[in-house]
Structure 1
Amino acid sequence: MKRYYEKYKHIIPLAIFGVIYVLWFYLLEHRTNVQYMVVHMNIDDYIPFCEYFVVPYLLWFAYVPAVLGYLFFKDRRNYDRCAVFLCTGMLIFLVISTFIPNIQHLRLHTMPRHNVFTVLVSQLWQTDTPTNLFPSIHVYNSLGAHFAVMNNETLSGKKWVRRGSLILCVSIILSTMFIKQHSMFDVLMAFIMGAVMYATVYYYDVVGAYRFQTGK
């Protein structure tokens, strides 16, 4: 048991954060008597609704865990980087949502068509409120997953993995706007935060510097 603990104990901080994130987000989603700031940009009105993008939107729920899972077993150094990247962004998102409650009014009142994709979008809208939007975690975590792929020597060396990750990342980012889950503002905020965190985690390698100083 001790051998397995020493080998896999690096999952503990992420697991603890995951519990905190889910509880915190649940409380945010179920607040009452809240005055919301409406998130909107003029360009949002020109982005058409396209229900087919619900597919890459839902693939996000497999994409990010798959990258993290691979790094967890294969690349401890980049697992730590990716975990710090993701958790820091999600923590900032929670703080922003706590002190700047926000909402969007982009969703359609009625679906223009009836098919399996519009049904999926309708079900998604029923389970996910149009509140607590920026920065878009779908966008931010997709960037984080792709950055992790590109910084892993094995994965970045496989052309099909590199291109597949990029295509999926871009598709997920576009999906947030085409199925009216997010405003362009949320996407831009995610890109800005992603750029700052990329510099912090990968360029300046604060995780590696911390481990060097502490010997962990």
Structure 2
Amino acid sequence: MKKHFRNAPYLLILLFTPLLSFIYQLLNEHPRKSVEISTSIDQFIPFVPAFIIPYLLWYVYMLGYLIYFCFKDTRVYIQTLIIIAAGEVVCFIIYFFFQTTVPRPELTGNSMLIQLVRYIYVNDEPYNCFPSIHVLTTFAVMLGSIHLKNKHLLNTFSIHFGGTLIIISTLFVKQHVVFDMIGSMFLVTFLYGIIFEPYQVRMAEKTETVYVKNKG
């Protein structure tokens, strides 16, 4: 319990997220000449309104698991946030100089799912798609979770299964195209290698040093 109280102040770091959202909105609401990068694969992927559910659950997924990371392992929490912040800054630079757009289907009907998709379409212009921030942040959490120790099997499953659903939902609700998804995953993997891997190497070296001393 004391550890949880000690970790609680680190939640304040999450306050930087509204600033990132504000920057995204500025770029999203001021479109310039946009490029469409969809492929034949994207045309083959159907529009499935039901995927708006995992798409919207992204908000709960991100907040819930970042809070979980904070109390489970502060180091992993901070490293994951660094990946997210650095990744979004890279995205904003790309959005400014290379703005892309996604063709959206015409929405018909008034079912609850269609209404939810319509809400997203109205509040999120089809610009600034490459790389996808939805995918970037979700994949960062998925990779960060690998370093959490003593996770319950159900937790591991929900992080990766839920994350996978969120990532592919961006394609099925036509918010993003395949290149947006690939670009985000490549960017996160690159940042992950810079931020997480050197720490793992140092930890391995420390462990080896301790082992040698004990052996001696």
- What TM bracket, shorter-length normalisation? 0.7 to 0.9
Q: In 1, Cα distance between the equivalents of 2:121 and 2:30?
A: 18
* Cα distance change of structure 1 residues 19 and 52 upon mapping to structure 2, 3 Å threshold: closer
Q: CA deviation at 1:139?
A: 0.9
Q: Which residue of 2 aligns with 1:103?
A: 101
Kindly provide the amino acid, as one letter, of the partner of residue 93 in structure 1.
C
Q: In 1, Cα distance between the equivalents of 2:162 and 2:9?
A: 30
Matched, 1:31 2:30: yes
Q: Which residue of 2 aligns with 1:165?
A: 159
* Cα distance change of structure 1 residues 130 and 70 upon mapping to structure 2, 3 Å threshold: same
Q: In 2, Cα distance between the equivalents of 1:13 and 1:123?
A: 29
Q: CA deviation at 1:145?
A: 1.2
* Cα distance change of structure 1 residues 168 and 74 upon mapping to structure 2, 3 Å threshold: same
Q: In 2, Cα distance between the equivalents of 1:59 and 1:7?
A: 26
Q: Which residue of 1 aligns with 2:211?
A: none
Residue pairs, 1:41-56, within 5 angstroms: 41-56=39-54
Q: CA deviation at 1:45?
A: 0.5
Q: In 2, Cα distance between the equivalents of 1:101 and 1:160?
A: 39
Alignment deviations for residues 78-124 of structure 1 (CA, whole Å, 9 cap, x no partner): 1111111111111111111111122111x11233x542111111111
* Cα distance change of structure 1 residues 164 and 104 upon mapping to structure 2, 3 Å threshold: same
Instruction: State the superposition RMSD in angstroms.
Output: 2.2
SS in 2 for 1:153: coil
Q: Which residue of 2 aligns with 1:202?
A: 196
Q: Which residue of 2 aligns with 1:62?
A: 60
Q: In 2, Cα distance between the equivalents of 1:90 and 1:67?
A: 18
* Cα distance change of structure 1 residues 30 and 114 upon mapping to structure 2, 3 Å threshold: closer
Q: Which of 98, 111, 115 is equivalent to 1:115? A: 111
Q: Which residue of 2 aligns with 1:91?
A: 89
Matched, 1:135 2:131: yes
Q: Which residue of 2 aligns with 1:181?
A: 175
The 8 Å contact of residues 67 and 148 in structure 1, kept in 2 or not, is answered as no
Q: In 2, Cα distance between the equivalents of 1:134 and 1:118?
A: 24
Kindly provide the amino acid, as one letter, of the partner of residue 113 in structure 2.
F
Q: In 2, Cα distance between the equivalents of 1:13 and 1:159?
A: 28
Q: Which residue of 2 aligns with 1:150?
A: 146
* Cα distance change of structure 1 residues 85 and 116 upon mapping to structure 2, 3 Å threshold: same
Kindly provide the amino acid, as one letter, of the partner of residue 190 in structure 1.
S
Q: CA deviation at 1:184?
A: 0.6
Alignment deviations for residues 25-60 of structure 1 (CA, whole Å, 9 cap, x no partner): 22212225x211222122110000111111111111
Q: In 2, Cα distance between the equivalents of 1:53 and 1:26?
A: 23
Q: CA deviation at 1:185?
A: 0.8
Q: In 2, Cα distance between the equivalents of 1:152 and 1:71?
A: 8
How many equivalent residue pairs? 198
Kindly provide the amino acid, as one letter, of the partner of residue 69 in structure 1.
I
Identity over aligned pairs, percent: 25
